[in-house]
Amino acid sequence: MPTINPFTVIFTWNDYDEYAFELQQNIISITGQCCVVSSHSGSEVAHKDWYYIGDDAYYTKQWNMALHLFRNNRIYNTLVQIQADAKCDDWIWFYECLEKSYARFNWGIYSPYIDWSGHYPPTEFIEYHGGYRSIKRTDCTVWAINEAILLQGVDSFDINNKYGWGIDKFYNDLSIKSGREIILDYNITINHPKNSNYDHNLAIEQSKITESEFNKPLKISLCTTCCNRIEDLRYTLPHNMKFIELYNKPVEWVIVDYNSTNKTEIKLALDEIKKPSNLDLKLIRSNEKWNIGRAKKLVHDSATGDVLINIDSDNFLGASYLDMIHQEISTNRLSIIYFSWTEEFRRYRDEYGLDLGFMGKIAISKGIYKAIGGYTTDLIGYGGDDTDLINRAILLPINKVILNDKLKYWCKTIPTIDIDTIELNMVENHVNHDIITNKAEERKLLPESIRHKSIEIRTCDESLDDECIHELYDNIYKTNNINITILKWGQNKGNKLKNTIITKLADIIRPKFNDILDISTWLTQILNEIFNTSLSVEHVHNKYKPLEIITNQPIDEFVIVTSLSTYSTHLLTQPISLQTWKNSGLTIYSINTKDEIEFLQNDYPEIDHWIECDDVSKLFAVPSQKINNLLNVSLDINKPIILINSDIEINASKEILNSFPSIGIRKNYSKYKSMSEIENEGIDIYLLTPEIISNIPQSDFAIGRPFWDYWLLYHLEQMIPEINILNNSFYHKKHPVQWNKSECDIGFYYMRDQYNIPVDFNWIKWRRSKGYTKWRKSI
């Protein structure tokens, strides 16, 4: 379970020295640590180990001293602040309550019940069992603040603290903005005198300042280093300017020209380029000898945004990347958003030639960046700098967003073609890896005790691992051999929950997995035994939404028809799709050119019938199989067909699929199908009979290219008054789109010329107006 390591500071002033000293000794006997910050009117503190800040100081200077002490003692993960006029009957019980709440809640701020506070209790709260409330506001008589909230808030508070009050309001707001709860604990009571020197008017004015700061639009800072990479920038900048203009919110772009050979070339290039109105572009020159750590530290330290994004000279932002970053950071100010190196990425690179230059694209909250000290400067050449930054950031209890499964944010890079540079980078990467792993103690960027403390917290979480269970359900759905699925699931880089379940299966339950008819009942039994809970089958089933295990016998009545793709992204997803088609008992036809068949057939034994067809559509830039070529299969074999894109997974029984005529609406998912969302535009599946197909005219529309689905549905709407819509049986793993607006325009103009339909006809509105049960002919 997560454990708390509190750093306690007592604030004292006139008339409270004696009580503060007794309280300090009491707390030291409980936790082993306690500091006292004094603003006594005398010229010296009452005790030599206290910190004296002057007799004109009150709460703000005391607080700044407490922050300074906490930042210099980073073996602790929580700051506990106690005002000297606060009384508690049992301070041991206070720290026990603090520990219990820390293990139970993801809080940013904790407060015991204060009797009497003077300016709260709160009016809005959520009540939990056991005497806890999640509230909007606590005060600062006695409170505890999580390290992540403190570290990111230091700079902001110092800059905006005009009146010296409102500290409690600032950190309460910061906690909420960071996705952390504020917990009020009624299990422990702190007594406080009713007199109060709190200046409410100044606190209100200060609150207005901090609130206006929080409500400002998030400012994104793009941080780019460049050393003789002007040609890369010339290529990527025009595209990235368009993406920034589409984003339409404030963006700062800081470019550091780090000792390039040509001292003026970058400036000339930046002066020439057209800049969007929402961009503030800054160029900084440095004549130091190239060092990637120093260069990145300089550019990030110079940025003024709320979120800092490392973007290399050869990277493209992508159309929706900035919007995604804005959404994530707005939801949680304590975030790092990055790509994590995996063996799967190695396979993408080695087997499919995927350029991994996007791996260094890191977005991090400015407060988190400063809290960990930013980029290190003791690495050499290229490599390791981004990994090092990520490794230190993720040790903090912050929101970690890994983009590995979000293909649309990968974005292209300019491939490196200089083989000497590649070989040099490989050597330097090995050196940097040794620095990161073997010299961590010497670097002192994060004390060793913090690293071990954070790792311990992350690996000792006993809560149910939801992602782990979603993964189990998805793996069972993909195959009809449950025995092999469960064993592989448990062995594949298993976490604690996986290992526990597999151990219990082997030692206690030992079911014959293939005899399991109800996976939710089986899983509920295991979870209840492992965690001593009383979860119901209905609760488990509703929470994880397992898909039905389809193990149809071979179907003779109808077949499935597609055209396999040779795109690298589809080469990753097609095998999974085809396996689900086979699980449903379907016979598979694939229509491809001769060259495509030679390239594909050895890797796709699931295909029952390859049909060679070189009469492809030339309507689009990429030649593709005409839709009519696929439809003709139905006429040739005289059977109904399921016409489908090759990256669509099926989870449906024969009874559901035997529904002609129908269209299928897919559900899109990033990782798990239980978290999928219905598609609002494309139509990837058509269930049609030979009689219907014989009345569909010829066209140049092609599978995998835009508008074929609307063209086909347009004809069906004219022929059939009502078509079934199947929307809970088809799934699609998200990936970058393969088409663009210019290709859509081809479809628009084709429909105009062939059917006299206005080019500005709203096809998306037409598509969405039909609903998701029956497609009825427009009146």
The answer on pLDDT for 561 being more than 50 is yes
Instruction: Domain 6-215: give its CATH architecture.
Output: Alpha-Beta Complex (3.90)
Overall average pLDDT of the 626-635 stretch: 97
Q: What confidence tens digit (pLDDT) does each residue in 181-208 have? A: 899 998 899 988 876 666 667 667 766 7
**Mean pLDDT in the chain?**
78
Query: What value does the mean pLDDT take over residues 117-126?
Result: 60
In words, the CATH class of domain 559-776 is alpha beta
CB 102, CB 6: distance < 8 Å: no
* pLDDT band at residue 2 using 50, 70 and 90 as cut-offs: low
Q: Tokens at residue 471, please?
A: 């993964």
| pLDDT tens per residue across span 480-493 | 566 666 666 655 54
pLDDT band at 450 (very low <50, low <70, confident <90, very high): very low
Determine which of 100-109, 307-316, 437-446 has the lowest per-residue pLDDT on average: 437-446
Name residue 286's amino acid: S
Listed ranges 134-148, 332-346, 669-683; the one with the highest mean pLDDT = 134-148
Cβ proximity of 445 and 376 under 8 Å: yes
Interstrand relation of 641-644 and 685-688 (parallel, antiparallel or unpaired): antiparallel
Q: Which homologous superfamily does the CATH classification assign to the domain defined by 220-444?
A: Spore Coat Polysaccharide Biosynthesis Protein SpsA; Chain A (3.90.550.10)
Please give the sequence-ordered ranges of beta strands (E in DSSP) within 147-196, or none if there are none. 181-191
- Helix axis angle for 385-393 and 419-438, nearest 10°, is 30
- How would you list the strands of the sheet with 648-650, edge to edge? 648-650, 730-733, 667-669, 677-678
pLDDT tens digits, 738-763: 566 788 888 888 888 888 888 778 88
Question: Length of the chain in residues, anyone?
Answer: 779
Query: Identity (one letter) of the amino acid at 481?
Result: N
Nearest to 721 by CA among 766, 776, 661: 776
Distance CA 665, CA 643 (A): 13
Please state the φ and ψ torsions of residue 328, each to the nearest 5 degrees. Answer: -65, -45
| Rounded Cα gap, residues 675 and 650, in angstroms | 16
Quickly count: other Cβ atoms within 10 Å of residue 288's Cβ: 10
Give the model's confidence band at 430: pLDDT under 50 very low, under 70 low, under 90 confident, else very high.
very low
What is the identity of the amino acid at 394?
A: I
Bridge partners of 724?
662, 774
Mean pLDDT of 606-610: 96
In this prediction, residue 55 carries a pLDDT of 67
Query: By the 8 A CB rule, do 148 and 396 touch?
Result: yes
- Residue 260's SS3 state is coil
pLDDT tens column, 230-253: 888 888 888 888 889 989 889 999
Q: What pLDDT, in 10s, does the model give residues 702-725?
A: 998 889 999 999 999 999 989 999
Give CATH 3.90.550.10 domain extents, the chain: 6-215, 220-444
The CA distances from residue 494 to 114, 505, 676, in Å, are 45, 15, 24
Most confident range (mean pLDDT) of 76-80, 135-139, 641-645, 720-724 is: 641-645
Q: What is the pLDDT of residues 273-283, one digit of tens each?
A: 889 999 999 88
Dist CA 119 CA 135 (whole Å): 14
Going 583 to 589 to 593 to 594, the CA torsion angle's sign is positive
Distance set, CA 592 to CA 38, 512, 563, 732 (Å): 81, 42, 6, 22
Query: Does the CA dihedral 759-765-768-770 come out positive or negative?
Result: negative
